Amino acid sequence: MDKKISIILCTYNEAPFIEETIDIIQNNIKNVEIILVDDSSTDGTFEKVKKINNPNLKIYSRKFRGLASAFLLGLINSSGDIVGWVDSNMKSAAAKLPEMIDRLNNNDIVLLSRYVEGGDDKRDKFRSFASRFLNWIYQLTLSKKIKDYTSGMFVMKRDVLLKAVPNCFGHGEFFVEFIYKAYKRGVKIYELPYIQPSDLEKRSKTASSLFHFIHLGLHYISVIFYAHTRRK
């Protein structure tokens, strides 16, 4: 019997992309449940999703509380042996899910990585530079073993949660901390090469400018360091 797969989608104003993303997941993965958590979208995302006739789709709507707690809500309501998360507006990432799941045969977590051999970042040069710069800092301050701390797209075996549990607060920093925590606790992580397309497919909602992007990334580092200092 195929293992059950749970894919979590956290949405905020994803109306132009969400139906196609859901179709890609449903049509390419067997025995899948899709758990969508919408944070009060204002562009009709929730209304559009409610019209989708898919018995494998679970939908939750709430007032905006942030990416980390949205993912945690999806995780709590998931039942799969394998759990994954991709950005709701990243159709190309959703199409990589079958390959990511196959790689779990020999790994505990598989994450998409732009900064391993075969990967790339095709966004505008300023955002690409900022992302590479922040990942360089993460490698210096956390571990050089992980090349892409910020792709935010992964699948994992459910029993990984026995070793590492994501933080339920904040935005992108929860993913950085979770991956680092899992690595430190002996979880086997594989980075699958991924070419991130131009900003025509995805635009950041948490960082509207280059300065804000870098400022947010540095804030993530301070939050993660503080959390780990308290645990020592």
Give the amino acid at 91: K
Mean pLDDT of the chain, nearest integer? 86
In this structure, the number of other CB atoms found within 10 A of the CB of residue 154 comes to 23
Residue bearing tokens 């925590």:
181
Confidence of residue 124 (pLDDT cuts 50, 70, 90): confident
Contact 192, 107 (CB under 8 A): no
Residue 152 and residue 223: Cα distance in Å, rounded?
Answer: 17
DSSP, collapsed to helix, strand or coil, labels residue 145 as coil
Model pTM score: 0.87
User: What crossing angle do the helices spanning 210-231 and 125-141 adopt, rounded to 10°?
Assistant: 20
Strands 154-157 and 195-196 come out as: unpaired
The whole-number pLDDT of residue 223 equals 60
Which residue type, as a one-letter code, is found at position 63? K
Query: Is the pLDDT assigned to residue 23 strictly greater than 60?
Result: yes
Chain-centroid distance, C-alpha 33: 17
Residue 179 has pLDDT above 80, yes or no: yes
The CA angle 122-126-131, to the nearest 5 degrees, is 70
For the residues 55-82, what does the mean pLDDT come to? 92
Is residue 216 scored above 70 in pLDDT? Answer: no
- Residue 227: phi and psi, rounded to 5, are -60, -45
- With 0-12 / 13-18 / 19 or more C-beta atoms within 10 angstroms meaning exposed / middle / buried, residue 101 is buried
Say if CB 146 and CB 139 are below 8 A apart: yes
Catalogue all structural domains in the chain, each as residue range(s) with its CATH number. Answer: 5-231 (3.90.550.10)
**Confidence bin at 201 (pLDDT 50/70/90):** very low
